[in-house]
Amino acid sequence: MEIKKCPFCSEEILSTAKKCKHCGEMVEETSNPVAKQEKEFFNDGNVLVTNTRFVNKMYNKTYSMANISAVALHRLKNDYKKLGIILIISGIFLFSMAMRQSISQEHWITGIAAIIVGILLCLIKDKYVVRLTSTSGVEEEFFISKDKKILQEIVDSVNEAIIHRG
């Protein structure tokens, strides 16, 4: 039995296959040259969105557009912000107590350290994630980044590809 690579997901399939068992795309040769063309909606070197596939090159993952029913951008909030505020308030309290000499002078170092760590925790940016929903209803995180703009471009491109797919 001869083996060939699927032109959409690059997985090995039988040379006589009409449909890829990995991505679900039709791979049967066709005389229509337009049907063979892959339209690119987005490509930044790490992520590729076409009318037939969605590729995350950083994690070596390929999804068939035929199996994607929805895509959305979600914000992952900085969960350390509250802890940072508590550390800043505690640090200010320790530092002010040390300055009044109500407690040991060594506590001013602890107060300053708490303030610095608290500020750093508050400065951590929120992250964003592209979530895909498959036709079977399974939701998967595709890409996580602090750059909301690029992820929104990816989501918009996938939505265009879904519309183009019909």
* Residue 48: pLDDT over 80: yes
What is the CB-side half-sphere exposure of residue 140 using CA atoms within 13 A? 13
Do the Cβ atoms of 143 and 47 come closer than 8 Å?
yes
Cα separations (Å) of 165 from 29, 66, 108, 139?
19, 8, 64, 20
Span 20-34, pLDDT tens digits:
888 788 876 554 444
Please, what is the average pLDDT of the chain? 86
CA distance 71 to 1: 38
Nearest to 155 by CA among 137, 128, 126, 135: 128
Question: Which of 26-35, 40-49, 137-146 has the lowest average pLDDT?
Answer: 26-35
Mean pLDDT score, 116-145: 91
Do the Cβ atoms of 36 and 8 come closer than 8 Å?
no
Q: How many CB atoms lie within 10 A of CB 143?
A: 20
Mean pLDDT score, 118-140: 92
Radius of gyration, CA atoms only, the chain: 26
Q: Dihedral, CA atoms, 157, 159, 164, 165, nearest 10 degrees?
A: 120
Q: What letter would DSSP give residue 19?
A: B
Domain ranges of the chain: 1-37, 81-122
Question: How would residue 102 be classed by pLDDT, with cut points 50, 70 and 90?
Answer: low
Mean pLDDT score, 104-118: 86
Cβ neighbours for 5, distance < 8 A, ≥ 6 positions apart: 11, 12, 13
pTM: 0.62
Mean pLDDT score, 77-104: 86
| The predicted structure's pLDDT at residue 105 | 67
